[in-house]
A and B are shown apart, each in its own frame.
Chain A
Amino acid sequence: MPRSADRALPNRPLRLLGGAAITLSIAALMAVLFWTILEAAEAQPLSAASSIDIPWLLWITSLQAALSTSISLVVGVAIAWALNRLHFPGRGLLAGLFASAIVTPGIVVAFGLLTVWGRSGWLSRVSEVWFGAPLDLPIFGLGGVVAAHVILDGAFAATILLNRLNSIPLERLKTGQSLGLSARTRFEIIDWPVIRSSLPGLGAIIFLLAFTSFPIVLLLGGGPSVQTLEVAIYSAVRLDFDLNAAVLLAVLQIGLCSAIILLAAAAPAVPVSVAQRSPLRWRDRGWATPLQGLVLLAATAGFGLPLAALLIDGLSDAVQLLESPSFWRALGTSLAIGLASAILTLVLAVTLAAARAASSLKFFRIGLGVPAYAYLAVPAVALSLGAFLFIRNLGIAPGAVAPLVVIVANTLLALPFGMATLSPAFDSVVRTRGRLMRSLGLSGSKQFMLVEWPLLGRDFGTVFALAFCFSLGDLGVIALFGTQDFVTLPLLMLRAFSAYRGTDAAAIAAVVLILAVAAFTVLPLMFERLSHARAR
């Protein structure tokens, strides 16, 4: 291959092979799940034309997802920028709180949003005391849905981008500082290339999440005028048991989402250099610092308060919960599932990202990028149906393998987030140091131990934390498996809600949030320490 770029990349056939194997496995798994649904659908008579207004649904869903994505990215960049510049006590904790939004069950975050911003929320009460009138913000409708998504996803984007900004090499910063770059030029020249490399992956994830969001859209949508395809698919599968219609809708959703994924996966690697976190503190001059303060204040009010509200709501009555054995059982199950999924996710994401970075063939890079996102594009109710049928067809009792299926499903769910974090990072390392590694004749494993692990340890930690929290208990995939003895924290929360135990449910939500904040504060730091220790 006489491509000029190739000469800069070390030759890593094993990495390419590993990545290809994972990609093919995921693609095969998805194909099999879909095939089993199609098979079951074949047994049914073809349905009469459904009354669903598909073009309109597609339009409103795409609009909502596009708005959610673009605003989330802007907000994410702003928060990451402000957190990168300002240093203050509690900064790490604040970053952890922002990051934990995305892994807390979305519906719970929406509850928190209402506690703060709602008609009877905190701000409304403040306004009543100060101005004599309650605040009635238009939370319900498209605006509310987008706002909730921005809270969840903007904060996530900020976490990933902050990691990238923190990995800008010291020499670059020192040079910039000695040149006396203005805040704006500094952002354009030093920050933007690093940020840009992460935007396609992040954008794709946020779009997919918003596109397939179900409970939040219904909770805050204000009625059936704001909808997503997912709810139509859910109703086709469950209420009407019309598998043909469900397959048709699912194919539509997958097609549209695939277009977005392809766009993201085709984005070229950006060669930016990365380094371990530098100790340099370089504050911007002039207007920038007050603006950064303002951004953080607004973010804390908008994102931090709803999460804080969950903690306050929940912890005021947590004592009773701590005495319940089912809580401890659920906590144990959640931690075990989280740990297993996190390890699996990290292994898969590292292998895929390393394989992607090792190639400059566009086709191969796209091929390795796409299946990682597949799970987000497939409707959840279709996945649970497919998984159930698949396991049955293998002749296995679904209840017996439920934990395994949950671990695999959660891993696939976390994988795109892992890829969005690690893929640009691996690209940077290989593209800026590939020539050097080649001339030194480093082997693949040496490349990992001496170069990538020390440089990217913190990112590994972030991925681990993400996957861990995501997997604390989403059980959507085993909806039909028989869940009575299987209890994770989010499931216990739902059960408490449906048994009118609101205080228990709120307390569980708070515990989940605390676990998430802890994971996001501690794990990246721990991985960073570990990776540095090994490098010495």
Chain B
Amino acid sequence: MLRFFAFAFAVLSSIAFATAQEPRTLTIYTYDAFAADYGPGPILKPAFEKICGCQLNFVAADSSIGALRRVQLEGTTTDADIILGLDTSLAGEARATGLFAPHTLALDKLNLAWADADFVPVDYGYFAFVYDKRKVPNPPASFEALIAMPESFKIVLEDPRSDTTGLGLVLWIKAAYGERAADIWKGLKPHIRTVTRGWSDAYYGIFLKGEADMVLSYTTSPAVHAVTENDPNYGATTFNQGAYPQIEIAGMLKTSSNQDLAKQFLAWLVTPEAQAIIPTTNWMYPVAPVGDALPSAFGDLPERVLSLDEAAITANKAAWIEEALAAIR
């Protein structure tokens, strides 16, 4: 009998020991470029694991919207605790799924004013046209100036249906011109060299090959050339209508069984320590002050920033995309 108790005790204690040893796992769904080689994921992971004593798993879909769709398909059985990498143009739609739980964090000490109860900002940037200063010494300073350029002046865009940068331009023009957006698109039409599936096709396939004078990208793109290639020859346009931001966000799921851990990660993600990793891996602005970790090549933030009402985006996105495509068809 005694032996039985001893045995039972040994088993039970080994189980208890195992559970104590087994680290908890935080699962984050995101897009491939964030989680994998070259992206911030491989650096964020060990840094957070050291703090939480847990295991952090990134699960990458091909795109952030793919990650959201995966959670929608998985429903209550999803392993995801957090979805990271959606942006503000998809926030309304993501919120409407009812999948996300409020983060309950105080986010008043960030670089940008932030009042969203469900999502935490990860990083941000502004859409802009990027050009080679040697070939375009006098870049246009507004959409009107761009339209007035000679027809041989070409730009390359991304398709708003398959790429968030492309979607960004649709929103940018809408925010700046409202009802007149279609006219601007019509004016751009003769300048459009092509509309690619994704950002890298436009940037590397068309723009850097010299097939277009400007590419729809981000204000931070020239900094990449300056920092990694020591090449100061690229610039980004500043349009006097104002810049339109893209803010990448993260939110935790209601179905998560690790809400405290998820909250801990989101709180850590906006600290200077984590944000310092962002600028030179994801090439976006950090949401917290990071000092020297933000290369000076990133330049000044735009003075005028446009915005659109989230509900309006969610309700009209499809119509706006169709309006833009119809105007340049």
Contact = CB atoms under 8 A, between A and B. Distances in A.
Interface of A: 40, 51, 107, 110-111, 114-115, 118-121, 139-140, 214-215, 218-225, 231, 234-235, 237-241, 326, 385, 388-389, 392, 399, 479-484, 487, 491-492, 494-502, 505
B210 A119 contact: yes
Contacts of A482: 59-61
B309 interface: no
A221 B37 contact: no
A238 B72 CA distance: 12
A223 B74 contact: no
Please give me the 3 A-B residue pairs with the lowest Cβ-Cβ distance, nearest first. Answer: A120-B210, A499-B38, A497-B200
Interface residues of B, number: 54
Contacts of A399: 59
B195 A480 contact: no
B162 interface: yes
Contacts of A115: 209
B328 A392 contact: no
B201 A107 contact: yes
Interface stretch (B28-36, B98-106, B121-129, B291-299): B28-36
Given A114-B205, A495-B36, A500-B228, A234 B161 contact: yes
Contacts of A120: 209-211
B87 interface: no
Contacts of A389: 73
Interface string B219-250: 00100110010000000000000000000000
Contact of A219 (B35, B37, B63, B201): B201
Contacts of A237: 69
Interface string B16-54: 000000000000000011011111010000000000000
B164 to A, nearest CB: 10
Max chain A Cβ within 10 angstroms of own Cβ: one of B70, B72, B205: B205
Contacts of A223: 189, 192, 194-195, 328-329
A500 B224 contact: yes
Contact of B194 (A218, A241, A496, A497): A218
Nearest to B217: A500
Given A218-B197, A479-B61, 8 more contacts: A119-B211, A218-B196, A224-B159, A224-B329, A479-B66, A483-B36, A496-B37, A502-B208
B12 interface: no
B119 interface: no
B130 to A, nearest CB: 11
B175 interface: no
Nearest to A225: B329
Given A239-B161, A499-B39, A494 B73 contact: no
B32 A483 contact: yes
Contacts, number: 155
Contact of B60 (A121, A231, A483): A483
Contacts of A214: 197
Given A224-B325, A479-B66, A497 B204 contact: yes
A218 B159 contact: yes
Nearest to A239: B161
Contacts of A239: 65, 161-162, 318
B161 A480 contact: no
B62 A140 contact: no
Contacts of A40: 73
Nearest to B322: A51
Contact of A495 (B32, B197, B208, B325): B32
A326 B70 CA distance: 27
A113 to B, nearest CB: 10
B199 interface: yes
A214 to B, nearest CB: 6
Contacts of A388: 70, 73
Contact of B38 (A119, A241, A496): A496
A55 to B, nearest CB: 15
A126 B329 CA distance: 34
B206 interface: yes
Nearest to A503: B229
Nearest to B159: A218
Contacts of B65: 238-239
Contact of B162 (A51, A220, A235, A491): A235
Interface of B: 32-33, 35-39, 41, 58-63, 65-66, 69-70, 72-74, 159, 161-162, 189, 192-201, 203-206, 208-211, 221, 224-225, 228, 281, 283, 318, 322, 325, 328-329
B37 A392 contact: no
A480 B209 contact: no
Contacts of B193: 140, 222
Given A482-B60, A495-B36, A238 B162 contact: yes
A416 to B, nearest CB: 24
A120 B213 CA distance: 11
A231 B61 contact: no
A388 B73 CA distance: 9
A115 B204 CA distance: 11
A114 B228 CA distance: 25
A121 B205 CA distance: 12
Max chain B Cβ within 10 angstroms of own Cβ: one of A111, A237, A399, A483: A483
Contacts of B195: 218, 221-224
B205 A500 contact: no
A480 B194 contact: no
A241 B72 contact: yes
A224 to B, nearest CB: 5
B328 A118 contact: no
B205 A495 contact: no
Max chain A Cβ within 10 angstroms of own Cβ: one of B37, B38, B73, B221: B37
A399 B58 CA distance: 12
19 contacts: A40-B73, A111-B204, A111-B205, A119-B211, A219-B196, A219-B197, A222-B192, A222-B193, A223-B189, A225-B329, A235-B162, A388-B70, A479-B62, A480-B73, A482-B60, A483-B62, A499-B38, A502-B208, A505-B200
B209 A114 contact: yes
Nearest to A125: B210
B209 A118 contact: yes
A416 B58 CA distance: 36
Contact of A51 (B63, B66, B70, B318): B318
A215 B211 CA distance: 17
Nearest to B39: A499
A484 B58 contact: yes
Contact of A107 (B61, B159, B205): B205
B151 to A, nearest CB: 12
A480 B211 contact: no
A239 B59 CA distance: 20
A325 to B, nearest CB: 9
A399 B189 CA distance: 43
Contacts of B224: 500
Contact of A487 (B36, B205, B221): B36
Given A215-B197, A219-B194, A484-B59, A110 B205 contact: yes
A152 to B, nearest CB: 15
Contacts of A392: 73-74
Contacts of B62: 479-480, 483
B214 to A, nearest CB: 14
